[in-house]
Amino acid sequence: MCMQSLNRIEISRSALIHNFQICQRWADGAAIMPLVKADGYGHGMIDCARVFADQGAAAFGVAEAIEGVRLREAGITQPVLVLAGVMPLTLPLIVAARLTPVVSDPAILTELSSVAAGQSASVGVHLKLDAGMGRQGALPADFAELLDLARRLPHLRLDGVMAHFPLSDDRTSANSAEVLRTFMAATAPLADHGAGKCCLHLANSGGLFYVAGARLDMVRPGIALYGYYPDGAAGRVTAVPPPLRPAMRFASRIIQVRRLPEGRGLGYWHLFTTARPSVIAVLPVGYANGYLRNLSNRAQVLINGRRAPVVGRVSMNLTLVDVTDLPKVRVGDEAVLLGSQGEETITADEIADWMETISYEVLCLFGQLNERVLVD
């Protein structure tokens, strides 16, 4: 009796370990804070956090407090930074779960102090500076006031200061150097107040690999831990060996093999019409699995170690593949949408080009919409 989906996401534990060790090597002594938000970029937040914790992760980064609670319930004891969802509504949960809020608003600091007092707790906080990202954080002109308030409020402990790079994946841009200068100037007063007790961190994956001087006390790799470079395929081409290893593989099974005549329209709106007698394999995968409609007539999959084109409109649960040129294709054969089969590989960067997006979105879509298992 089959109790598993025909569509399966495999996450390689050995690839996660390999990538963590690569990031550790590049960090040159700085602590590693893996980002496991968005369910570990689709790879499974809890499984990934456990793997990284075993490798020496110093802290973890999540978007919302509820993610941090789930890590605590799974036995993760390292600091967990809540990077985005810090607001009055979430503060009691953050304090109760011993999470570390990232704060850029004086009003939130004041409220946090009050909540901590109510729970007889001492809460470590990280302040966020907008050093050029333009998304969240205190502006440089307001940062000194925020810093002073964090030091004065009872029940709070200033554990760190952070900012974020907007263009660290663009190696030709001067922006990252400017962001780094802004960050260092704003945090310079900490040198007079025991800087060793306050963790300074700025580098995401791009900052880790491409921005000189950005490693500071801690680095925050995200996409790199899952096997991809922040600048896409270009990063893999220029990578210093050993390269990162993609951790995700997405495989399905052929549920039908159809022999169709020349001139037959396929799928919704007949976006593809056979130009010859054709053999078409049907896969039980579609946009409900994150395999988006804009992959229609663009994507390729691997069957029997060879590439075969997706033809016709990708629908909610079905995708058609032209296997006319492949020998001995049968019902039940594995079809790989992402990852390796034989000597061939389809990467998230390649799929991202077909989808007109980035590898991050591909991994989140596939990993969060399909049955997932940790392997090796």
Architecture, CATH, for domain 13-237: Alpha-Beta Barrel (3.20)
Residue whose tokens read 């550790």: 24
β-pair partners for 238: none
- Per-position pLDDT tens, the chain of length 376: 667 899 999 999 999 999 999 999 999 999 999 999 999 999 999 999 999 999 999 999 999 999 999 999 999 999 999 999 899 999 999 999 999 999 999 999 999 999 999 999 999 999 999 999 999 999 999 999 999 999 999 999 999 999 999 999 999 999 999 999 999 999 999 976 544 589 999 999 999 999 999 999 999 999 999 999 999 999 999 988 899 999 999 999 999 999 999 999 999 999 999 999 999 999 999 999 999 999 999 999 999 999 999 999 999 999 999 999 999 999 999 999 999 999 999 999 999 999 999 999 999 999 999 999 999 8
313 membership: H or E segment, kind and range: none
Give the helix/strand (H/E) hosting 56. Answer: none
Does 328 qualify as catalytic in the annotation?
Answer: no
CA distance 200 to 144: 15
Region(s) of the chain under CATH 2.40.37.10: 248-375
Going by C-alpha positions, the residue among 195, 120, 130, 208 that lies closest to residue 164 is 130
Distance in angstroms (rounded) separating the CA atoms of residues 81 and 35: 9
Choose the catalytic residue: 41, 197, 210, 268.
268
pTM, two decimal places: 0.96
CATH code, 248-375: 2.40.37.10
pLDDT score for 192 = 60
Active site residue 37: yes
User: Please, which residues bridge with residue 12 across strands?
Assistant: 375
Domain with CATH 3.20.20.10 in the chain: 13-237
Give 252's strand partners: 335
**Spatial separation of the C-alpha atoms in residues 219 and 24, rounded to whole Å:** 9
SS3 content of the chain, % helix, strand, coil (to 5): 35, 25, 40
Q: Which of 37, 210, 228, 291 is catalytic?
A: 37
* pLDDT at position 2: 65
CA geometry: angle 156, 159, 163, nearest 5 deg: 115
Q: Which two tokens stand for residue 27?
A: 């960090």
Give the pLDDT confidence score for residue 195 in this predicted structure: 45
